[in-house]
Amino acid sequence: MLRRKGLVAAALITIGLGALSGCASGDPFSSANSNTTGEGPAGSDTITIGSAAFPESEILAEVYAQALEGKGVTVKRSFNIGQREVYLSALKDGSIDVIPEYSGNLLQSYDKNTTAESSTDVYAELQQKVPSGFEVLDQSQAQDKDSYNVTKEFSEKYQVNSLADLKNVHIPLKLASNPESAEHPAGIEGLKRLYEVSVTLVPISDSGGPLTVKALVDGTVQIADVYTTSPAVKANHLITLDDPENMILAQNVLPLINSSKASEKVVQVLNNVSAILTTDDLIEFNTKSSGSAKESPSAIAKDWLAEKRL
């Protein structure tokens, strides 16, 4: 969530070229947050997969982990680390080696003033902006973008279907989103700069999850930042506002990896995943992880890899 970005302190810090702020409770690399899989001691032949602190990221990390294990790579897991500030620090200090990322938000963490918008342009610029010692592998066609949502009642009452329409609403507006939205170029600042809309942030650190949705539905806020692949949008009949100024960049899923761990085998396996992964797959992941059955990330990843013959 403005990833998350879907996911947390409201500040920009420098990690290489910079990173979005975030938070995590406790030590993200303690035994309570890590799960080791594979034989043999950790070392040059072991790769540690990380994930951010939201279900989709953990499922994607499981997909990466199980795909690599299927090709004989020893994998360690360090999931639910936190928001971008925390896991980029973990990459920098070597606590993790690879993590699923989202192209647009990652680019903006390195270059807040980027003008890239399309998937192609964002990816090309991101490849240039990733700090030395790290790289992004192939991007998938799968996208999961932040989106600003209102209730159907609010949309109809104030004739709001686009972010541009919000400037015609003459009541105080509150936005439920992760705390980093206070500084993110697609957050409070972007709404003011591109759409001339003043919004008060109500920080909720669940990356567009149930607390964020509840705040919108019960009227605590008028706008909520919810991922486009969240089942909650359809389930609650939310209206996703158009973004004619492309404030929210393309957000293609891709692996961010420590170059020292990017062996030919690892790169090929992860690129094979990206070649097949779609936005519909992300929606299915999120539906399975949040439904009444609530499948585990491990089970969801295993079923998907089997279905795709990976």
Whether residue 239 is predicted with pLDDT greater than 50 in this model: the reply is yes
Mean pLDDT score of the chain, rounded to an integer?
87
DSSP 8-class letter at 250: P
Instruction: Give the DSSP H/E element, type plus range, for residue 213.
Output: helix 210-217
pLDDT attached to residue 4 = 43
The torsion region of residue 194 among left (phi > 0), alpha (psi -120 to 50) and beta comes to: alpha
Range with the poorest average pLDDT among 38-52, 81-95, 224-238 = 38-52
pLDDT attached to residue 15 = 34
pLDDT band (50, 70, 90) for residue 96:
very high
- Kindly report the backbone phi and psi dihedral angles of residue 127, in degrees, each rounded to the nearest multiple of 5, phi listed first: -60, -30
pLDDT attached to residue 195 = 97
pLDDT attached to residue 36 = 38
The answer to whether 102 and 252 are in contact (CB under 8 A) is yes
DSSP 93-147: HTS-SEEEEEHHHHHHHH-TT----SHHHHHHHHHHHSPTTEEE-PPPS-B--EE
pLDDT attached to residue 203 = 97
The answer to whether 61 and 15 are in contact (CB under 8 A) is no
Range with the poorest average pLDDT among 37-46, 82-91, 229-238 = 37-46
Instruction: Give 151-175 pLDDT, tens digit per residue.
Output: 999 999 999 999 999 999 999 999 9
pLDDT attached to residue 308 = 96
Average pLDDT of the residues in 92-117: 95
Whether residue 6 is predicted with pLDDT greater than 90 in this model: the reply is no
Q: Could you tell me what percent of the chain has a pLDDT over 70? A: 86
- Dihedral (CA of 113, 115, 116, 117) sign: positive
